[in-house]
Amino acid sequence: MIEHLLKKDGYVYRIDLLNASDEELLEISRKMGLALNLYEMKKIASYFEQKQRMPTDVELQAIAHAWSEHCCYKSSKPLLRKYLYNIGKEKVIAREDAGVVEFDSRHYYVAALESHNHPSAIEPYGGAATGIGGIIRDVLCMGAKPIALIDPLFFGDLDMSYDELPEGIKHPRYLFKRVVEGIRDYGNRVGIPTVAGIVYFHPRYTQNCLVNVGCIGIVEKEKMVRSRVKNAGEVYIYAGGKTGRDGIHGVTFASEELRKESEEESMTAVQLGDPITKEPLIHAVLECNERGLIEGMKDMGGGGLSCAASEMAYAGGLGAEIWLDKVPLREENMQPWEIWISESQERMLLSVKPENVEKVLEIFDSWDVEAVVIGKIVEGGRIRVYYKGQLVEDVDLAFRVAGIEYMRTVKNPLIKEIEANFEMPDLEEMFLKILASPNVASREWVIRQYDHEVKGGTILKPLHGFPYSSHADAAIIKPLGQSFKGLAITTDVNPYYTSINPYWGTASAIDEAIRNLASVGARASSFLDCLNFGNPEKPERMGEFHESVKALHDFASRLNIPFISGNVSFYNEWHGMAIPPTPTIMAIGIVEDVRKIATPGFKKDGNEIYLIGETKREMGGSEYYRAMKINGGVVPRSDAEAIKKGMEAMVKAIENGVIKAAHDVSNGGIAVAIAEMVIAGKGARIDLSNIANLRSDFKLFSESNTRWIVEVENEEEFRHAFQELPLYKIGNVEGDGVVIYDNGKKLIDLSKDDVREAWESFSHSL
């Protein structure tokens, strides 16, 4: 027991780290929920030994949060710095709580992508809802108006029997439904459209689902706010919801593996969202910013007020004084350390000139949002925290905020891409089976729950077509009323690829993101990444991470497209079982004129159908191999130059009206791409005889990268526009169904109703 190391001092405890044994240091970390290892505890002890005093519980908790994997990226920062930070950096205006990139001569777009994995595994509704709330604040704190939400989601097998479910784990079907409800209720109530996302199912997400969330905003250039203070004398204003005990130890909880005891031990680490408070908070913040009253701003997300106040002051090269007893509370008898690190939602921290304080407080009052002065900016690089007159923290910000870094041991993943020999099945039957599979089938059940049209700026919706709809390749938002310029948004990753080959699986995510943007007529402008991996202290997990980040570098650098924002989520493991490597990619593209976009549905009988790109036997992780229960196979490869050429040719052809319909080839191969284009439009008659020297099943279901299916009216114009790329004429728009031949043999002959019924069966089963 460590009680002999604790000394009550007014409103805090002092902890005698200086005389603690190694075992006692680790016990202090465990009992206080610090999630710090022995090296880190000794480093803190050494700091306070130099100060010749014992730390307070407030100081220990604050340092632990600042040093958490979630906040300081101590395992990933060296690799991120080496591989990602310098790509296309001339295009990045700012990279803080969110990334900022030029949209037009007067505006920036602002974007962020985050994870809320551990909270969602414990309490899926609240975890997902507060993930959305937090990502909105990340964009808002840059002074931007949030205009769109994105939700990449990953779950275990929905049909798993309860007998197979590990003790302490919620069923994937329950997690799936509650996560979607949390995103739905928060996004719809706050009035921001959820326009893009993915839903993936893989057995290794059973113990640790992933909930990634993104947000995009728009801001006038001169109105952009930074996540830093400017000058000593500025005043800290706390605005928004009251502080409670929810979210305490949120970031330290997210920096450890989940265990069967996690729900009981860590439920208080899950925050409680309130979109009804968030909506007027957004308006009040934007009004203050419109009037030029904000010097710096940050949301109170991971680490709460403790991290927000410290990081803003440190980024400005200054110090701060905080008065914790001024913080609005919704619970009685909260300890100073609880107030300081609570991650209660709907809270913003503003830095304001003294002469503007009353104006800011009046604006928040007019929106019925609580706002109070809680501190000030001072010279020097220290943060001093007071509670009812007592100094409860006095720490150098360079020690606290700069944190620590590790060069973790890396073990290259074992890669086995061995092809299988097998007999070809009935292809029409297999086609229908793949269409109905969870990772291919319609997402209508999810999409229809989200209001993806609120605010009236969604030009291309996640489902497109009439009278029946299929998936659009990317959503398009028109952010400005006076301009036809648009933002295209997509998010991509295939965890079956990355689990076989992390490098080429990650490259495929970049490839597909570019293809999706190009399919609607958008040039890729920026990437965001949410890098979800297992325990970084295990060399094989760091090996997966290293391979993935290296692939991001190799492809983004050749394309000169920057990563403007992102997140690393480690420790996605449960009793040693890790998730598949999941580097979620969000890509944003610029559409010069939203009136000239392409959509997936076939348009006009008699038009030609072409395949752009080469088809190979690259079936590793494919829907076909999974349906056949075949392991192994070669994961699709990518070539950055081919991606670049394809994107530019596609965008120009769509802008010039050469392409009438477009869809990228991905999950399920050519067969599924054709089916989705038919569901959203007219029928197709296809002949695959000339596309490759492969067996018919590989032609149909290969998932080779950098391929599109397009509908064209003028073949001469089309061939001229794509003269540097492989082109294959594969058929015509014809009839009302899907008919596919290969070498004179009819492989598939199905009506649109048959195809649509199979594709929609998954949504209808939920």
- Give the residue ranges of DSSP H helices in 206-355: 250-253, 262-266, 275-290, 304-315, 336-341
For residue 170, count other CB atoms closer than 10 A to its CB.
18
Residues 497, 504 contacting (CB under 8 angstroms): yes
pLDDT score at 575: 86
Q: Which of 4, 65, 107, 116 is catalytic?
A: 116
Tell me if residue 708 falls in helix, strand or coil. strand
Annotation marks residue 116 as catalytic: yes
Residues 699, 692 contacting (CB under 8 angstroms): yes
Residues 752, 737 contacting (CB under 8 angstroms): yes
pLDDT score at 262: 46
Residues 519, 664 contacting (CB under 8 angstroms): yes
Give CA–CA dist 171/472, Å, rounded. 30
Give CA–CA dist 561/566, Å, rounded. 14
Residue spans of beta strands (DSSP E) within 581-630 = 582-591, 608-612
b/e for 32-63, b at 16 or more Cβ within 10 A?
bbbbbeeebbbebbebbeeeeebbbbbbbbbb
With helix as H, strand as E and coil as C, how does 312-350 read?
A: HHHHCCCEEEEEHHHCCECCCCCCHHHHHHCCCCCEEEE
User: H/E element holding 362?
Assistant: helix 357-366
| All domains of the chain in start order, with CATH | 3-69 (1.10.8.750), 427-563+580-764 (3.30.1330.10)
pLDDT score at 256: 52
Q: What is the DSSP letter of 580?
A: P
- Return the structure tokens found at 45: 């002890």
pLDDT score at 40: 95
Could you tell me which of 286, 283, 224, 195 has the C-alpha nearest to residue 478?
195
Q: Which of 65, 70, 118, 471 is catalytic?
A: 70
Q: What is the DSSP letter of 258?
A: B
Strand pairing report for 727-733 and 608-612: antiparallel
Residue with tokens 């080469």: 614
Q: Please tell me the number of Cα atoms within 13 Å of 598 on its side-chain side.
A: 32
For residue 267, count other CB atoms closer than 10 A to its CB.
14
pLDDT score at 248: 79
Residues 228, 490 contacting (CB under 8 angstroms): no
Amino acid identity of residue 322, one-letter, is I
Annotation marks residue 4 as catalytic: no
Give CA–CA dist 374/308, Å, rounded. 13
Residues 673, 709 contacting (CB under 8 angstroms): yes
pLDDT score at 265: 45
- Return the structure tokens found at 645: 């050429």
Below-50 pLDDT ranges, the chain: 253-255, 259, 261-262, 264-267
pLDDT score at 254: 46
Give CA–CA dist 72/404, Å, rounded. 7
pLDDT score at 271: 64
**Sign of the C-alpha dihedral, residues 751, 753, 754, 755?**
positive
pLDDT score at 420: 86
Which residues make Cβ contacts (< 8 Å) with residue 395, sequence separation at least 6?
Answer: 59, 62, 63, 382, 383
